[in-house]
Amino acid sequence: MKNSLKQIVLLTVFLAGNFTFAQVNDGIGTEVINVVKPYTPTISDAFKVKEVPVLEDSENSKTATITYTIFSFPVASTFVPAKGNAVQADKPKQEKLFANYAELGGGNYGTLASSLYLTHNFDSHNFLNASIKHLSSAGGIRGVELPNSFLKSGFDVTYGSKKQTYSWDTNLGYQLQKQYWYGTNSTMNWNVVSRDQLAKAQTYQHIDLGANVRFTASPLQTVGLQYSRFWDGFNSSEIRFMLRPELAFDLFSKTIKSTVLIDHVSGSFAKDFEGLEFPGYSFTNLGLQPRFALQQDNWSFSVGAALFYTVSNIDLGTRFFAYPKLAASLKVVGDLMVFYTGIDGDLQQNAYRSFAEFNPFVSPTLRIAPTNKQFDIHAGLKGKLSSYLSYDLAAHVIQENNKALYQSNYMKYIDPANEVYTFGNSFGIVYDNVKTFRVSGGLHSDLTKDVAVGVQASLSKYTMAQENYAWNLPLAELHATTEIAFLPKWSVGADVFFVGERKDFQLNQLVMPANLPFVEADYTRTLSNYFDANMHLNYQHNARLSAYLKGNNLANQSYQRWLNYPVQGLQVLLGAAYKFDF
């Protein structure tokens, strides 16, 4: 570019020099030039430069490399930033927990209720728990002429230790229960039978010894051992021994859990209902229940089985039982809707103690045998309708062979030597193969932290193999609960029960005097459904002291839970509870 400029400048100077020189008068004469036609240029006279100029300046072919440098040096500063303060959230005041608890209450019908719970930690590992409970009533059921008081009292003591790799505990318990067979038939002839003859009470007593060991890092996870002895006031006795280890181990990348069960029960009664010698009973069940879990996408599975080998000294002899234990669940809409289904079975060990705890008016002449629950096929939906409302709907088909049913014993009341439980006022056990179809549903809602409501209902249909009805099994049941804390120190709750109709059967044996033949009549009795509402009101005076008021059978109904056994009417109980530390 610079060379081009130089050429242009030189050319300009040269032309200017020539022009100046031509103006000098060199003595040449002048001539006259006549212009005939002016010059008119045309496009053809122009020429086009066809070459692209080559730039020889090296400065145009290179880009300079620029290097930046910075010179830094520390600058002293005296600025100190202020420390930030975290915003503290409002925390509710934590309720103080006490190790011990005592309660005492009393009410109409001469009711007395008391309980005491004690806990002591010897150190960070060893502890001792103890409890004493008592509940009694003087009776006073309207329309009942026989004594109808009852008593239940007992204690339990547990000592245990918690270590880093294992923990263990052992317990000792005792309970005494006493009540009367006051449910006499309306056809009772009091001119023949003395009321004093029926005023003999039945007493149940049992003592329990148990131990449990739990391991944190071992294939053997837990071991449970339980021994109990049960006896009554009519020379009946029963012992039961249970050993229950639980194991877990890995196999083919799956964790297999298994429960081993040894369950032995044996006992004897002084005589049967007819007064004859009654042989004792003995059952030993050896069981193995392996299971493992699977999960695939939204599906969850539990696969297992129950295997039992039972040995008996009566009609069952030695037998082998196998049951499926399968369960599956699918999250249809997350936690909002979960579908579940499964099939389950079990060999249920029946015992005199379990029968008497459910119905204390059984006679001490029962025939004991296990129940073969072949299967329980079920399916249902559960989930949440909202953040505070959950539901559970299910349907069951159950097949139970040798299912135990409570049935009233027949009445024979003419012989003064008869036992107190032979006057149509006790219950025996009959066995039958029963198929049950049941639908059930439940709702639970925690509306707020101070309001909780729940309801559970079921409808059942029974198909019998031999008996006419499923004796004393209700067709419909409902249970509803609610708890409301309406003031800082006040709360109220309610329990509502509805039990549908039940059927019972009682054969009355009217014995005629002087060796005349007796007359038998079959009676199928219908027990009406009943509704029972209970409420309680609590007042928390301070962290230690509280008081309560309970009301049971608020409708004051004299309904019969068992045939000929009406219950107490409206019951009111006032009491107080105190928490403390040593």
What is the per-residue pLDDT for 476?
97
Average pLDDT over residues 564-569: 95
| Mean pLDDT score across all residues of the chain | 85
At 89 the three-state DSSP class reads coil
Tell me the C-alpha distance between 504 and 509, whole Å. 16
Average pLDDT over residues 381-409: 95
Residues forming a β-bridge with 499: 477, 530
Average pLDDT over residues 344-372: 96
Which of 62-66, 161-165, 531-535 comes out lowest in average pLDDT? 62-66
Long-range own/partner contacts, residues 346-349 (CB < 8 A, 24 or more apart): 346/306, 346/373, 347/285, 347/287, 347/306, 347/308, 347/310, 347/321, 347/323, 347/371, 347/372, 347/373, 348/372, 348/373, 349/263, 349/265, 349/283, 349/285
Residue 26 has pLDDT above 50, yes or no: no
Q: For the CA atoms of the chain, what is the radius of gyration?
A: 48
Average pLDDT over residues 200-226: 95
Residue 1 has pLDDT above 70, yes or no: no
Residue 418 has pLDDT above 60, yes or no: yes
What is the per-residue pLDDT for 417?
77
What is the per-residue pLDDT for 156?
98
Residue 431 tokens read as 């066995």
Residue 28 has pLDDT above 60, yes or no: no
Residue 360 has pLDDT above 90, yes or no: yes
* pLDDT classification of 91: cutoffs 50, 70, 90: low
